Amino acid sequence: NGIGERAGNASLEELSMALKCLPYEQKYETNIKSELIYETSRYISKTVGIIVQPNKAIVGANAFGHESGIHTHGVLSNPLTYEPISPELVGRKRWLQVGKHAGVHGMNAMLAEYGVKPNEEQSKQILDKVKVIGDQGKQLTDVELLSIASEVMGDQDLKRIVQLTGFSVSTGIGTMPYAFVKLNVDGEDHVGTDYGVGPVDAALNAIQKVTGKLSEIRIKDYGLASISGGSGALCEVTVKVEDALGNKVSAKSVGEDIVTTSVKAVIDAVNRIMLKKLLQEKQIS
- Which CATH number covers residue 174? 3.30.160.270
Residue 278 lies in a domain: yes
Cβ–Cβ < 8 Å for 38, 91: yes
Percentages (nearest 5) of helix, strand, coil residues in the chain:
45, 20, 35
**In a shared domain, residues 236 and 192:** yes
**In a shared domain, residues 150 and 227:** no
pLDDT of the residue at 285: 56
Residue 120 lies in a domain: yes
**In a shared domain, residues 199 and 267:** yes
Query: What digits encode the pLDDT tens for the residues 128-160?
Result: 888 887 777 666 777 677 778 877 887 655 556
Query: CA–CA separation, 172 vs 160, rounded Å?
Result: 34
**In a shared domain, residues 139 and 32:** no
Q: Measured at the alpha carbon of residue 110, what is the angle toward residues 91 and 125, in degrees to the nearest 5? A: 160
pLDDT of the residue at 25: 79
**In a shared domain, residues 193 and 272:** yes
**In a shared domain, residues 17 and 68:** yes
pLDDT of the residue at 158: 54
Q: What is the pLDDT along the chain (285 residues), one digit of tens a residue?
A: 888 777 778 888 998 988 888 877 777 888 899 999 998 998 888 888 888 888 888 988 888 877 666 667 677 778 887 788 888 999 988 877 776 677 787 788 878 877 778 888 888 888 888 888 777 766 677 767 777 887 788 765 555 678 888 999 998 888 899 999 998 887 788 899 999 999 988 998 898 888 877 667 888 888 887 766 666 677 888 888 888 777 778 787 878 888 888 888 888 888 878 777 766 665 555
pLDDT of the residue at 280: 63
Q: In what order do the strands lie in the sheet with 175-185?
A: 162-172, 175-185, 188-195
**In a shared domain, residues 22 and 84:** yes
Cβ–Cβ < 8 Å for 92, 81: no
Q: Which of 120, 139, 158 is the last residue of a domain?
A: 158
Residue 1 lies in a domain: no
pLDDT of the residue at 129: 85
**In a shared domain, residues 53 and 121:** no
Residue 71 is part of a domain; what is its CATH number?
4.10.430.20
Q: Which of 158, 176, 201 is the last residue of a domain?
A: 158
Q: CB atoms < 10 A from the CB of 126, how many?
A: 26
**In a shared domain, residues 195 and 275:** yes
pLDDT of the residue at 6: 73
Query: CA–CA separation, 218 vs 244, rounded Å?
Result: 8
State the total domains in the chain. Answer: 3
Residue 174 lies in a domain: yes
**In a shared domain, residues 81 and 136:** no
The DSSP-derived string for 124-192 is HHHHHHHHHHHTTT-PBPHHHHHHHHHHHHT-GGGS-SEEEEEEEEEEETTEEEEEEEEEEETTEEEEE
Query: What digits encode the pLDDT tens for the residues 193-236?
Result: 999 999 988 998 898 888 877 667 888 888 887 766 666 677 88
pLDDT of the residue at 76: 73
pLDDT of the residue at 96: 73
Range of 174's domain? 162-284
Residue 100 lies in a domain: no
Q: Which of 62, 95, 128 is the last residue of a domain?
A: 95
pLDDT of the residue at 191: 92
**In a shared domain, residues 206 and 273:** yes
Q: CB atoms < 10 A from the CB of 9, how many?
A: 11
**In a shared domain, residues 186 and 202:** yes
Torsion of CA 225, 226, 227, 231, to 10 degrees: 170
Residue 3 lies in a domain: no
Q: Measuring CA to CA, how many Å separate 271 from each of 38, 61, 144?
A: 26, 22, 10
Residue 4 lies in a domain: no
